[in-house]
Amino acid sequence: MLQPRKSKYQKQFRGKMKGITTRGSSLVFGNYGLKSLSRSWLTAAQIEAARKSLAHYTKRAGKIWVRIFPDKPVTAKSQGAGMGSGKGEIARYVAVVTPGRILFELAGVPKEIAQKAMKGAADKLPVKTKFISEES
């Protein structure tokens, strides 16, 4: 699973997910991409499942770039814990995704295969997405 090696602070506040993405909103590496149209937290497991789906559909041909990284720790308390007694331990790491963010990029495969692969990856994610290409 993806997670940071170390961080300056162990725990973070939940924060707000307002606004749209300005940085990371255009294709940089590949010819095709998967762009987010809604906002959500993507867990490391969801990102990995989508990446595996891309690799499966492309038969590991071409190159895949993952443009998001889960660097936000999310805490959770155990099932039977009562209220109070501080913040829980880190349960997982998430990537904050807002509309306009490029999630994955793909190069070196035909457009039809890229579309099918991105559709398969999008099915693994809890956000609405759109297939984009260099031509559009």
By the 10 Å C-beta count (0-12 exposed, 13-18 middle, 19+ buried), 22 is classed as exposed
Give the whole-angstrom CA distance, residue 12 versus residue 36. Answer: 24
CA atoms of 58 and 56, how far apart (whole Å):
6
Task: Report the distance separating Cα 108 and Cα 115, nearest Å.
Answer: 13
Model confidence over 46-71: pLDDT tens digits? 999 999 999 999 998 999 999 999 99
Structure tokens at 129: 């997405």
Q: Is the pLDDT of residue 23 over 80?
A: yes
pLDDT digits (tens, 9 = 90+) for 88-106: 999 999 999 999 999 999 9
Residue 36 has pLDDT above 90, yes or no: yes
Contact indicator for 24, 101 with CB cutoff of 8 Å: yes
Domain spans of the chain, in order of start: 32-76+89-133
Indicate the CATH number of 32-76+89-133 among 3.40.50.300, 3.90.1150.10, 1.10.10.10, 3.90.1170.10.
Answer: 3.90.1170.10
